[in-house]
Chains A and B, each alone.
Chain A
Amino acid sequence: MMDVFALLGHGFAVAATPTNLFFCLVGTVCGTLIGVLPGLGPVATISLLLPATYALNPVTAIIMLSGIYYGAQYGGSTTAILVNIPGESTSVVTAIDGYKMAQQGRAGEALAIAAIGSFIAGCIGTLVIALLGPPLALMTQKFASPDYFSLMVLGLVSAVVLANGSAFRAIAMIFLGLLLGMVGMDLNTGEARMTFGLIELSDGINFVALVMGLFGVAEVISNLEDASVRIVNRTKIHSIWPSLKVLRGAWAAVMRGTLIGTIFGILPGGGATIASFSAYALEKRRADLVRTLADHGDSHQRHYGADGRRADPARHCARPHDHLAAARSVLGADREHVHWQCHARHHQSADDRDLGPAPRGALSHSLSDHRGDLRHRRVLGEQFELRRLYDGRLLLARLLAAQTRRGAGASADGLCAGPDDRGEFPAQHDHLAWRSDGVSAAPDQPGAAAGLGGAPDLDHDADDPPAPRRGGPGMSSEARATPRIRRRYDLEQT
């Protein structure tokens, strides 16, 4: 273990020369500048700037390439947040909530949180890889043909399992990639296969050329097609620094995202897209649970009004962007499951509880109080009540949820909040509007609406058939399999 840190120290000593740091800066700046351009993600940016590193010595070149990679990865989130154009598939989920924040005039916050999150996750992920490096390297030395074969099968299978969209098409794309990998000289006989008689192809299809075509050029062309639906956000960015409260609310989510990203990053065939979608799915599930459990009462009232009639404000802004639909198709099944769970618990709590004194007392006690305290007290009340009513498993889940609610406070609404379910409660829950009967929650309403109303509402058209965007996430993850297969095949060849 100490070995690792000694080596890390050596690495830092090598990296931290003025020249290397300068080229790291150059790479990061160039990467961010090019990554900001919609349609040019990290892979395209690296392939564009790869020639720029030819003249450097290997260490400096690698450092500069890393800078380009991180810069481009972050640059994609800028367009995602500001103009709702994800530069590549990994920033699709950034666009979902980030653009909503930008529309509320919180673009600076969103940008800063994205940058801070990327930085923390990047550092921790690199450290984990460095610590796991030696054992992994030992393992790879023992690798023989059967192991490589198994690894490739694992990669191909997980590429299918984790691909979003049709599994059949994902498998077909695997075979397409394998077939493209056949181009070039046969290893055993030296005979040229499918090279169209071109000597240039005898070494196989150039990886960078393939990637440029699949990602760079394809995205450029599809962005030109979508010109009519681009919406420019003209709100001014006031402050880039998020408040301390926002940071406190975000750090747990950043940590969970880091964990998921690290795990999926190590697994072959997973990749950043899968990791970002999984992390978003987790956060949304958490936010849903937390919200449903912690304030089902007042949310119900807010949406159905005191008389039980639905009074839904116009939050259904039209968003013609297909990647949201694609995201919905990925997250849809998951969300329905959550709905179902929430409803089940809803019934249970409605039937079991006698509208105990704790929540009611907490509410009436602090009517004139500000919102955070109100919620805090309500959560405490719920905890008290729950201890009485539920078994250990449910208690644990609810306690966790309530605690997050308390810790995250208002910021959780804007940051980790996905679409809200509150419009989904069935009508027979009207008796749950008990809070609106006895207690006037008027002070609670405007504040809560300001905090929660901005959460993107993905559910309002959940019945629409999901439409994976051509050349978008659905397609590109299938297409993404192609270069990966090619790389694995290279692995086998060498």
Chain B
Amino acid sequence: MRSPTWRGNNNDFYSGLLLVAVATVALLYIRTLAIGTVLQMGPGYFPLGLALILLGMGLCLVVKGLLTSEKPVGAFHLRPLFFILLSFVAFGVLVERAGLILAIMAQVAIAHFASVETKWQQSVVTAALLAAASAVIFVWLLKIPVNLLP
């Protein structure tokens, strides 16, 4: 993490970086598509144009962010970002292998660490209630084809 006084530490710089990253990934995947000509457009024609425009705009924003000294963005909080996303991944991985109840338990357990405010008693109650409610609503009432247990 950079210090808040760093020159490029503003909204423009980071949104530019995001656009450049997305455009680069898109360009990598567009490589394999047929581009075609204006009269005979291939599947890659329009995406290529969009990705190039996006790349240009992203670079403009990066340069603008480096040149201007706007109000700096606040510090990044990686902890909630990491744990919340990890909890989703855990749910996705577990729900088909270990069943709905264990997946929900695992998700709540991981999300517990996202905030310093939550107490473990709260998380236990939340996990139990959430698992019970999901089991009743989605599996029992709505008959969604998900295993409750492995």
Contact = CB atoms under 8 A, between A and B. Distances in A.
A168 B63 CA distance: 13
Given A179-B26, A224-B115, 6 more contacts: A51-B142, A176-B19, A176-B22, A178-B50, A179-B54, A221-B81
B53 A175 contact: yes
A442 interface: no
Interface string A222-258: 0011010000000000000000000000000000000
B77 interface: yes
A1 interface: no
Interface residues of B, number: 45
Interface string A117-150: 0000000000000000000000000000000000
Given A168-B57, A191-B33, A179 B47 contact: yes
B43 A189 contact: yes
A188 interface: yes
Contacts of A227: 115-117
A229 to B, nearest CB: 11
A310 interface: no
A179 B57 contact: no
Contact of B43 (A55, A169, A191): A191
B54 A176 contact: yes
A448 interface: no
Contact of B142 (A52, A179, A191, A467): A52
Interface of A: 51-52, 54-55, 166, 168-169, 171-172, 175-176, 178-179, 182, 186, 188-189, 191, 193-194, 196, 217, 220-221, 224-225, 227, 465, 467-468, 470
Given A179-B22, A217-B84, A194 B54 contact: no
A172 B57 contact: yes
Interface of B: 11-12, 15, 19, 22-23, 26, 29-30, 33-34, 41-44, 46-47, 50-51, 53-54, 57-58, 60-61, 70-71, 73-74, 77, 80-81, 84-85, 88, 114-117, 137-138, 141-144
A227 B141 CA distance: 36
A290 B78 CA distance: 48
A189 B15 contact: no
Nearest to B84: A221
Contacts of A467: 71
Given A51-B144, A52-B142, A224 B15 contact: no
Contacts of A221: 77, 80-81, 84, 114
A271 B141 CA distance: 35
A191 B32 CA distance: 11
A259 to B, nearest CB: 34
Given A178-B50, A194-B29, A225-B77, A169 B84 contact: no
Contacts of A54: 142, 144
A172 B54 contact: yes
A194 B115 contact: no
Interface centre among A169, A196, A224 (most CB of B within 10 A): A224
Nearest to B141: A55
B44 A193 contact: yes
